[in-house]
Structure 1
């Protein structure tokens, strides 16, 4: 009979217990001993968001198998190929004396003699032109003038086709957003203001390219807490804590899950749908940031006093939308021949704070996992 030693069984039991607690709390559903950064992410088939690989802060890949690079191993036998070619080199060397016996190329040396008189003809032509003009300076000037006159014709035609600069007048729209609750003012910081044309035309340049933005995770906080990007832009979340985080969003077609990854790592997501994207952490429920994605309109985050301003807006009919986690409101206005100043008020008296769910759609567990990972 074998004697069971409680000291040897103690550690496996602790591991099993910690895994059960972790799974129940929604923090992770895999064995920490086989931890792979970002491998525990869930997929959203209906989403249009695109998730990239887990990278270090410098941008190098860290996912499983990324360090192996089998392509380089396949390239190693290639240096042996030139050695095989070098062994075949003496074969043409043995054939060289056979080729040198009928030196047919020797009589072909007379061919450059034909080119020499051609050169002399050109020289005589140049001499005749020099005799006609008493000085070489004048002849060079006339040649330069002729050369300069020839490209003048196409350049003049191009300038005739392009000079029609259409300059339209643009205006600015500025204002202030106020938040109130039961008649009292509330800090409006973090309110997102969006301006859109009612005719559906875009307010962005057609030559604008997609950009990448950074959000830091530091001291269990997203920095910045609000961000404005364009449709098709990328947001990279960098973990600057010594613990792990799990970035996710359940916002419709912008839903995504970056999985759990630790300190010094980052992962990016490209957001391809317009709207407000609410981003949370599946481990720390108080972590939140909000990303406003524009399509044809323009957005910005109001400052701590609620001040906002949009410049270079053409005349037309517009709709201004103000969004805050406590409430939202919209207002129509017209730009005709003057800039506009608007005051916006959001009444948040009916706002009730609700705890959001984790990435599985369940409540966060009150029992936290107490270890070095979180």
Structure 2
């Protein structure tokens, strides 16, 4: 009898739907204008799941029209990023950032190079040939990550209920490591809607 009750209890737990809520942020500046390319990462109550992290947007940063595209790329720790050159001129990619100090020496049109990122953090990229080129790779250790679109919207689904640590990063954000931390309660179902105002430095 006791064994039957235990079995029924276990089956009921398996059949129960996961308790999870969604987060919908609107990222704005101090004047209320939408901010794109702000990276939002979340560590839900109870931590992040184990296992490999994959994002739908891939791990490629193209050099095209004398610019890095996308301007901001999110990749998981351990990802190998490809740097294909689609310009008619050569590029020389480098970074002096603490999470990844490296350089990829001159390579030309339709050539590609790659680099593996092993530490979490923000990596600022430049080109030794073209000073006007800049890009950023945000290396993360959570699968709950996204970046705001041109309208400032950033949404992450399926977060465990409880208080979540939400980090917002932007290359122009004033503050340590260009980040701000917010603790937000996530409900068992439904969506948390919140506007987040960033104090940004003037773009150079």
With the length of structure 1 as denominator, give the TM-score of the two structures. Answer: 0.46
8 Å CA contact 1:177, 1:344 repeated in 2: yes
Q: Is the 8 A contact 2:27 2:198 kept in 1?
A: yes
Aligned position for 2:43: 196
Contact 1:292-1:299 at 8 Å conserved across structures: no
Consecutive unaligned residues of structure 1, counting only runs of 5 or more, are: 1-161, 355-374
Q: Which residue of 2 aligns with 1:174?
A: 24
Q: Is the 8 A contact 1:275 1:292 kept in 2?
A: yes
Write the distance in 1 (CA, Å) between the matches of 2:53 and 2:20: 19
C-alpha displacement of 1:326: 1.6
**Residue number in structure 1 paired with 2:182:** 331
Larger Rg: 1
Q: How far apart are 1:185 and its partner, in Å? A: 4.1
Which of 262, 274, 279 pairs up with 2:108? 262
Whole-angstrom distance in 2 between the partners of 1:219 and 1:235 = 19
In 2: Cα distance, 1:193 partner to 1:248 partner: 25
Equivalent residue runs for 1:106-255 within 5 Å:
165=14, 167-180=17-30, 184-197=31-44, 199=46, 201-203=47-49, 206=51, 208=53, 213-255=59-101
Q: Is the 8 A contact 1:210 1:232 kept in 2?
A: no
Alignment of 1:334-353 (within 5 A): 334-338=185-189, 339-348=191-200, 351=201, 353=203
- CA distance, structure 1, for counterparts of residue 166 and residue 54 of structure 2: 25
Higher strand share: 2
> How many residue pairs were aligned?
186
Distance 2:63 2:203 in 1: 23
- SS of match in other structure, 1:260: strand
The equivalent residue for 1:133 is none
SS in 2 for 1:213: coil
Normalised by the size of structure 2, how large is the TM-score? 0.81
- The two structures, once aligned, show a CA RMSD in angstroms of 2.5
**Aligned mates of 2:187, 2:199 — CA distance in 1:** 30
CA shift, 1:253, in A, is 2.9
Comparing 190-199 with 308-317, greater Cα deviation is found at 190-199
Contact 1:245 1:282 in 2 (8 A): yes
Superposed CA deviations along residues 177-223 of structure 1, whole A, max 9, x for unmatched, are: 1112xxx3445121111112365x214x6255699611111121111
Between Structure 1 and Structure 2, the one with more helix by share is 1
**C-alpha distance after superposition, 1:308-355 (max 9, x if no partner):** 11101111221212222221422111124343111100122xx2556x
Change in Cα spacing, 1:189 to 1:260, as seen in structure 2 (3 Å) is same
- Aligned residue for 1:165, secondary structure, equals helix
| Aligned equivalents of 1:223, 1:208: Cα separation in 2 | 22
